[in-house]
Structure 1
Amino acid sequence: MSNSFESLVETDVNLKPFNTLNISARARYFASIENTDQLKKILNHPGSFGLSIRIIGGGSNILFADDYDGLVLHIDIKGREVIDETEEHVWLKVGAGENWHQTVRYCIDKGWGGIENLSLIPGTVGAAPIQNIGAYGVELAEVFEWLEGMDIEGRATRRYEREFCEFGYRDSIFKGELKGIVIVTQVVLKLSKDPELNTSYGSIQSELKDRGITDPTIEDISDIIIDIRNSKLPDPNTLGNAGSFFKNPIVDEARYQKITEQYPDAPGYPMEDGKVKVPAGWLIEEAGWKGKVVGNTGTYKQQALVIVNHGGATGDEILQLADDIQQSVEDLFGIALVPEVNIIN
């Protein structure tokens, strides 16, 4: 058996099947990782030394702006296992390569609550703590216990507890200090056998009322959120996209009040620290971008926050559109939009 680096990886691989924006970009080296032994073998091979390394999961939150002259590792580690259990809770250990939404539905089928509001968020379980995914009043941090990750530099595996992860709004230490350093291999979630439902969002409440549901289950909440998301977001299998392209900006009260002077109906969500979260989709729509087509790309007709690939768009085209949107929103509102999508170039 060959011990060459090329025997462990593929060369010159088109990454289009591995990103939901359906961008054609080529990786010099590529490997799908199914277990930690395989990962260690590749990282410890001299052929990987000196290479830039990029970790991907479901590819739902990345934009390849150009070809990648390094090593792309697609984490495809599977498996779900209950590692602890009490009368009230269950601790579920999940492989980083498992599909997030399928894991949510798996838990719902078992009667375990806590992540039903995070239904239909694209991507893998391994990406969830990095992004601290959140939706409809719930964040992953609320059910996260710990993760297992491999240090890309020390080639060592260790456990990262919740307190260490520095979770924030769509943020964690893995997007900051440890960005590109830790490869998530397993995630442990603490789920409830007698869940308290979060129906705080008005759209959930109105849907429950419309459906005549007075005593909802976690499955009811999940079904409603799936329907809401499907009505707003395009299916990447039919229209390439990476979901919400920008974060919702958080501004101080004075900035928000200035916006409402010109736009009395401007939506804003007060934060605990006195600041206000303003929907990026609303800002982009007011700047005239909703449904606009620019070459092979554009924004989704039903949600301006989503940049789409109408077919054949390059990463550079999408990046240029994103830059133009950012500039126009800043010119109009004085607010700098920050991409939620990871841009790789």
Structure 2
Amino acid sequence: MPLLTLKIDADTYRGTREGVPNLVRLLTKYQARATFLFSLGPDHTGWALKQVFRPGFFSKVSRTSVVEHYGLKTLMYGVLLPAPDIGKTCASYMQAVQTAGFECGIHTWDHRVWQDHVRQRDAAWTQATMQRAFDRFKHVFGVAPRTHGAAGWQMNPFAFEQLETFNIAYSSDGRAMLTDAGDLADPAAGPHRLSVNGKTLQCIQLPTTLPTLDELLGRSFNGTELDASNIAAHILKLTAEPRDHVFTLHAELEGQKLAPIFEQLLQGWRAQGYDLVSMEDYYQQVKNQTLPTLPLTWAELPGRSGEMIMQPINNSTCGS
């Protein structure tokens, strides 16, 4: 049975308080497993206004209503309103996910700061920021994290090395390259290890292999614009041929306004014969396999602005 790994990013205060509980209920209804990755520090979502200067930002905003999905108040955090500390104020919401039996891991400390700046930061800043998230996770959950998923698929070499220090066994920090239609550009894309600064890291990377809803909404394919009425069918076409996949969803989107679309996907994936699993489940299946060792690579994806960690195509060497 092919595995479809559900990786849930909780980026914001509102998403953690409202979207996360909604997703727990929905996943429980369909007996689906998933991994929730939490932002554990302040919510500076309002600082995203600086992205207006990035190529591709306006096209994305025109396709997806940022205000509708995130809420005006969230877009003011760190600008006109104080940034709420998610880990302090939402600890009970996070613990409820753990109690419900779902895997929990680290997304980041401050989503906005990490996504915008980590690529240019040095070792000291990177290690200190990740240590804050690690310590907060242990405080909230009472155990050390086993997994991680980078905010905005943004990392640097020091961050990957820090995952080794934390003994993170498996992580989902990057993407698999997609075609304009959302298909995998490399059919062999999937679990791998990274070579960073000449060293093969032990942490197994489980890259996202499907486009996200916000990357597809409002775009046209074969003359048809994707909206709430047909986007689930489009994604289900991408998963019609059985193979393991990782799908990233967001507590702010699929946990709120886009929940009906996510429910259609859950129903469709069940009908296609997928086992809906957590990152840990996927890791247990692949951990003893001989996986490729790949270089740290950056590239852009259709529907999303800026470069992100990308699994390279046909550029691997076998590693242990």
TM-score range, shorter chain: under 0.3
TM-score, with length taken from structure 2: 0.26
Higher share in strand: 1
Higher share in helix: 2
Structure with the greater relative contact order (CA < 8 A, sep ≥ 6): 1 or 2? 2
